[in-house]
Amino acid sequence: MIQKVGTLEDRIKASRENALKNTLATDGPPLNVQLPSFYIDRMRELGKKYRPIRWLPLDIPRIDFDDVDEFLDIWEKEKQPSVRIKPSAAEPYEKDDHPTGKDSSWYVAPFNNITLWRNPELTPEVRDNFWALHDTSQKYKIFDKLVEQVFEYYPIHTFSLIYIWQSTEEIIPHQDGGNFWRSPTEYRTMLYDENEEPTLYVSDIEHGDTHFIDLPKDTNSFCWSNGSQVHGSTYYGKRKFLLVARGFEHSQKVETLIDRSIIKYRDKLNYKLEL
Q: Is 176 in the site for Fe ion (CB under 5 A)?
A: yes
Of the ranges 142-150, 174-182, 215-223, 239-247, which one interacts with Fe ion (CB under 5 A)? Answer: 174-182
Of the ranges 3-11, 103-111, 117-125, 168-176, which one interacts with Fe ion (CB under 5 A)? Answer: 168-176
Quote the CA–CA distance of 218 and 59 in Å, as a whole number: 9
For Fe ion, the closer of residues 88 and 136 by Cβ is 88
Alpha helices (runs of H) in 107-179, residue ranges in sequence order: 124-127, 142-153
Quote the CA–CA distance of 218 and 14 in Å, as a whole number: 35
> 167-195 burial, b for 16+ CB within 10 Å, e for fewer?
bbebbbbbbbbbbbbbbbbbbbbbbbbeb
In sequence order, what are the residues at sequence separation of 6 or more whose Cβ sits closer than 8 angstroms to the Cβ of residue 142?
65, 66, 67, 70, 71, 74
Q: Which bin fits 32, alpha (ψ -120 to 50), beta or left (φ > 0)?
A: left
For Fe ion, the closer of residues 167 and 220 by Cβ is 167
Of the ranges 3-11, 12-20, 64-72, 171-179, which one interacts with Fe ion (CB under 5 A)? Answer: 171-179
For Fe ion, the closer of residues 176 and 255 by Cβ is 176
Quote the CA–CA distance of 28 and 100 in Å, as a whole number: 28
> Please, what is the minimum distance in Å from the beta carbon of residue 29 to Fe ion?
18
For Fe ion, the closer of residues 59 and 176 by Cβ is 176
> Please, what is the minimum distance in Å from the beta carbon of residue 152 to Fe ion?
24
Q: Is 128 in the site for Fe ion (CB under 5 A)?
A: no
> Please, what is the minimum distance in Å from the beta carbon of residue 44 to Fe ion?
22
For Fe ion, the closer of residues 149 and 229 by Cβ is 229
Query: Which residues in this chain contact Fe ion in the complex, by CB under 5 A?
Result: 176
